[in-house]
Amino acid sequence: MSDTPRLDWPSRRDPPPDWRRGAAAVAALSFDVDAETPILAVDERYATHLSTMSHQAYGPRVGIPRILELLARLEVRSTFFFPGATVERWPDALSAVLEAGHEVALHSHRHVPLVQLSPDEQRADLERGLAALAAHGVTPAGYRAPLWQQTRYTLDLLAEYGIRWDSSLMDDDRPYVIDPGAGRPALAELPVHWSLDDWEQYAFVPEPDIGQNIELPRKVLELWTGELEAMRATGSLCLICCHPFLTGRPSRLRNVERFVEFARGLGDVELLTCGEVAARVLDDPAPS
């Protein structure tokens, strides 16, 4: 029987103690604009499955405009994670998000889980994603890995390419600082969790298998508000992750509005973008 493997954790440290600026908890809304990428990352032959592609296209085509309209009405700034391939296929979606004044971060290029890529492939995917955003004048400060599945090497790469924060790990519900070492700059980590993601509750297509449940919006809202409410006792970051092709549907989008109203009604919760949280964690100047 072999020894159990050692784990190669990056060095981490706590954020400045006042990162919440007196709030009991901090909430942030994020939108992963996956569009077709998670399906094509499984197999590119799905490009000819018109119905499935249309299911994904709902996100940039219908979901994004409605989400932007809602956030404008609520006066909430949010963070949108774009795969590079989505930027190439749906440039208008990126433009609309930028014009509305939201933060844009990178969500890889092709939405292939990084654990399936060699180091060179990871580097190439990151470079392509950055190039796709750069073509629209965007230099992202933040990154989120596809399926929240990255490796130790991903953090090194992010630091090397000037990314300031990541949002893909789950070993805390409070943000923290990662020191990748070897002289690379520190990264802020903004942890996520599956229970605050809309994917596990709503995602269904006949193939490939991306999920089997279609749950009630009411259930999803209770997952979100229940966690935020409890996080006021733990001083945590309640980072909601939505997908426009899922949460953009009419009754599901209401959850975003109700969550914001719930958070504001608590009176001691601050709503920030991911970049604003990261700046506090790194003691950087606030992003414009």
Closest C-alpha among 177, 136, 142 to residue 158: 142
Would you count residue 13 as binding its own copies (CB under 8 A)?
no
State how far the Cα of 126 lies from the Cα of 108, in Å rounded to an integer.
6
State how far the Cα of 121 lies from the Cα of 127, in Å rounded to an integer.
10
Q: In the complex, what is the shortest distance from the CB of residue 4 to its own copies, in angstroms, rounded to a whole number?
A: 4
Q: Which two tokens stand for residue 131?
A: 């190039």
Would you count residue 11 as binding its own copies (CB under 8 A)?
no
Angle at 150 between CA 122 and CA 89, to 5 degrees: 60
Question: Is the C-alpha dihedral spanning 238, 269, 103, 257 positive or negative?
Answer: positive
Footprint (CB under 8 A) of its own copies, residues 189-208: 191, 193-195, 200-202, 204-206
State how far the Cα of 251 lies from the Cα of 87, in Å rounded to an integer.
27
CB nearer to its own copies: pick between 155 and 271: 155
Would you count residue 134 as binding its own copies (CB under 8 A)?
no
> For the window 137-176, what string marks contact with its own copies as x by the rule CB under 8 A?
--------x-xxxxxx-xx------------xxxxxx---
SS3 assignment, position 24:
coil
Q: Which of 253, 279, 281, 282 touches its own copies (CB under 8 A)?
A: 253
CB nearer to its own copies: pick between 206 and 285: 206
Would you count residue 123 as binding its own copies (CB under 8 A)?
no
Helix (H) or strand (E) holding 119: helix 119-134
Span interacting with its own copies, options 73-81, 94-102, 211-219, 261-269, rule CB under 8 A = 211-219
Footprint (CB under 8 A) of its own copies, residues 26-85: 36-37, 40, 44, 47-55, 57-58, 61-62, 66, 85
